[in-house]
Chains A and B, each alone.
Chain A
């Protein structure tokens, strides 16, 4: 190891109009290390990295790569300087194949054929070297997020990146996938590559990084050696106060059964059966957690229960059957039945991004009589008043009900949705990925709210890909795979490994020396084959 840092940023500042996202930031990353960056939502982590990658242009500041001052006006320059980046929101062309995405911008010559052939070879090689298996001819939109992320990493490696930036890579991964990613990163590090890792998860920081920098409100507040710090200290540095890292909850006192689902089946518009006979039960005063790799039907389960999709089977709410296909199988009817729904995708389902916060507070409840002035007009003042109360109680920042939803950070957007759904005092709360992309300060708050609702005797169905979250919040855990429930466990009687295997459809423990990820991959491949066959027949 030399003393010249692989990356050195000096005095980087960047503002988006009136928002100062980065303020005079300096940072040094040594070659061959993994450097973590943590910080609350909106602290400016993504912005800083995007500047390094030439996606944004800094207002001021200097960039040194391997000791040499380098101008990075665009991503082309970054790539030329050996930098690769996996963005928080993947930058993939959804209806292109993996191969096409990989060569995009790095083609050899004007014709595609030779480029594709070459890339196919390189990809095969990379796949072997780093265990980065993906079908090169698969469409991106058909891939799981985990595989999409592999494509992003392959893109960077294909361009022979020496410095790899990963922005919240594990937010969407299963534990097995996350473990696998970390092994890849360690492999890359051994080869002397430099890695910057942005994450909200302190466990990951502690596990894999060599040094860690903390950002707050656009400033770099500290850089420490990982070995010399603790999660508690980091959390405090990040949020500016002490944070409870574990969910504080008493044992559940389940009451009568509120939600009963029997043999629920749903087929999507492409003709693929997404729910294959789901049966489950949630009692008052308990949280049923549904674990699973995304894309195994959990989303559809929530959407069917929330009235967004039709299905067959039986669903009973407080003992009464509800309509799953007809006139009353919509979100309005579900709400009328006392079902609240925090959707998985807050940006595309839970909120209307150009709507103000107060308008969003009425979203889905726009029929509520207390929001109406008369038969024709809505009572905007009443909604606004309601919204201001919710913003205060849920500590939404900034506390401005007139701000458009898109101008709030992800965590605060989530708080708006939660406030709206929880304060309805529903009998049943459907909640999907409540803390996806949310910083630890907000996670703590959101978890507290969900537990509090449970303690009021409400039934909660929680879907999450975060096993940590599932294990710490749920009173019972069900695992979904391929549209079916693979099994149910009590959190106290299971562990991440067992759940991880169930999530991959593996019901018995594999050989000791076979890496888990291979088992998972085999299972996924088998699943895909089955699907392809079905498609072929139809």
Chain B
């Protein structure tokens, strides 16, 4: 028997938490001399009410879904993968190599090839930390932090000394050839007379992200591997009793996690920039931690959290555009949202539980 109905826990608690975060954010906006009502309405208007705004929001959402899922899969096996940043960078490298050096006839094939490459490269970058954790007990938190730095160095070297077109100023690869360009929502959904999602970077990889959500859900809750991953995550000794190999699960879970992180690069590299740039991950690896935690490691929750963060990113740019409020305000709002929905949720839940218990007793 639960203390309160499931819908209240799933909807009411996050909702009130977000309202609290918004309230404090409003105070911060007031404190720096702006009008919070105006600020929020700009954010909502420019990111959720036009197809273009939605398109921009969904672009960021796509990134966060991938990195959020990556963190979540590792979490289910009780591992804290802080290495999303590095895995994204390597995934980007995989995408770039495949797009630059394979003569793809059509984007569909290129997408398949690049997805595989992104996954493989991201997974490979997670493999060493996973192996060391499984075999040597080296704490995955340290090794993945270290691998983020190492990945940055690798990418820096590769871009500056190898992939950069001769004489180019930018530490970036050359542009990917035409056939690898992914269709954007604008190309997909616009008709002759109405242009939808004008110039928004959102592209087919969004659907890939949604697919990944579903796949992860299936994996974790419907497959034998997921059953074993969760079992191992809950209790290593019990896993051993059941004949689930800790080494195998640790490595597989981290490979999947790294692969998912790597796939984020599809969106940013193949979908948006159409070349590999130095900072392809843009901190999404870290946002992914917050997204996974807020989404309670459930793909649906991750989708919603990614949407929220996408909204904050897009709304933040628009806010800066229309009011000149610095971008750091958005960072503060993000922090407050994470804090209230993810860490202070019991502050809302506890009184609600009492309320529902009292209501139930009143009825009984």
Contact = CB atoms under 8 A, between A and B. Distances in A.
- Touching in the complex, A and B, CB below 8 A? yes
Contact of B243 (A334, A348, A359, A378): A334
Interface residues of A, number: 34
Contacts, number: 76
A305 B271 CA distance: 55
Contacts of A353: 234-235
Contacts of B218: 376-377
A380 interface: yes
Nearest to B222: A377
A367 B241 contact: no
B243 A333 contact: yes
A376 B226 CA distance: 10
B349 to A, nearest CB: 12
A372 interface: yes
A146 interface: no
A384 interface: no
A376 B241 contact: no
Given A18-B3, A377-B218, A341 B241 contact: yes
Nearest to A345: B237
A366 interface: yes
A17 interface: yes
A350 B238 contact: yes
A353 B234 CA distance: 8
B240 A352 contact: no
A350 B235 CA distance: 10
A56 interface: no
A216 interface: no
A40 to B, nearest CB: 19
A427 B61 CA distance: 54
Interface residues of B, number: 24
A18 B360 contact: yes
B231 A378 contact: no
A17 B238 contact: no
Contacts of A372: 224
Contacts of A17: 1-3, 353, 357
Given A17-B353, A364-B243, A377-B222, A352 B231 contact: yes
B242 interface: yes
A352 B233 CA distance: 10
B243 A376 contact: no
A320 B266 CA distance: 53
B223 A377 contact: yes
Contacts of B231: 352, 355, 363
A535 B29 CA distance: 65
A348 B235 contact: yes
Interface string A233-268: 000000000000000000000000000000000000
Given A17-B357, A18-B357, A378-B224, A343 B241 contact: yes
Nearest to B3: A17
Nearest to B239: A352
A352 B234 contact: yes
Interface string A324-341: 000000111111000001
B3 A366 contact: no
A367 B3 contact: no
A378 B1 contact: no
Nearest to B243: A331
Contact of B238 (A333, A351, A366, A367): A351
A331 B234 contact: no
B228 interface: yes
A18 B235 contact: no
A362 interface: yes
Contacts of A362: 227
A426 to B, nearest CB: 14
A348 B237 contact: yes
A192 interface: no
A351 B238 CA distance: 7
Contacts of B234: 352-355
Nearest to B245: A330
A307 interface: yes
A349 B224 CA distance: 19
A308 interface: yes
Contact of A331 (B1, B230, B240): B240
Given A348-B235, A355-B231, A364 B242 contact: yes
A309 to B, nearest CB: 9
Given A18-B3, A350-B241, A378 B227 contact: yes
Contacts of B228: 366
Contacts of B245: 330
A363 B241 CA distance: 9
A363 B223 contact: no
B242 A331 contact: yes
Nearest to B242: A364
A363 B232 CA distance: 11
A306 interface: yes
B357 A367 contact: no
16 contacts: A19-B1, A330-B243, A331-B242, A331-B243, A341-B241, A349-B241, A352-B235, A355-B231, A363-B231, A364-B241, A364-B242, A364-B243, A366-B224, A366-B242, A377-B223, A378-B222
> What 6 A-B pairs come out closest when comparing CB atoms?
A331-B243, A332-B243, A364-B242, A349-B241, A330-B243, A18-B1
Given A330-B245, A378-B224, 16 more contacts: A17-B1, A18-B3, A19-B1, A308-B241, A331-B240, A332-B242, A334-B243, A343-B241, A349-B240, A350-B238, A364-B243, A366-B227, A377-B222, A377-B223, A378-B222, A378-B223
Interface of A: 17-19, 306-308, 330-335, 341, 343, 345, 348-355, 359, 362-364, 366-367, 372, 376-378, 380
